[in-house]
Amino acid sequence: MNETSLAAVAISPDCFRPLKWNELVKRGDFVADGRQGFEPWVGPSGFRADAFVKQIYRQLVHRPVVGRKSL
């Protein structure tokens, strides 16, 4: 993407995980933009992550912690 693009996301790299080789790329994934930021993936979806030259990342899902009932 070009340098004037506002689509780059300034989020900590700790919020992303690299896709495994056999995971399918989908909309909502990200690619490193070369300036220590991330851009949304705008290409086709449905292919394996190892088929692309650059590493593709997915945002980590934060699951709420569910407390257990004490007996």
Tens-binned pLDDT, residue by residue, of the chain (71 aa): 445 454 555 566 778 899 999 999 999 999 988 777 889 998 888 999 999 888 899 988 766 666 666 66
Q: Which two tokens stand for residue 10?
A: 């300034």
Contacts of 67 (CB under 8 A, 6+ apart): none
Closest CA to 27 of 59, 69, 52, 67: 59
DSSP class of residue 44?
Answer: -
Distances (CA, A) of 67 to 4, 60, 61, 70, 71: 46, 21, 18, 9, 13
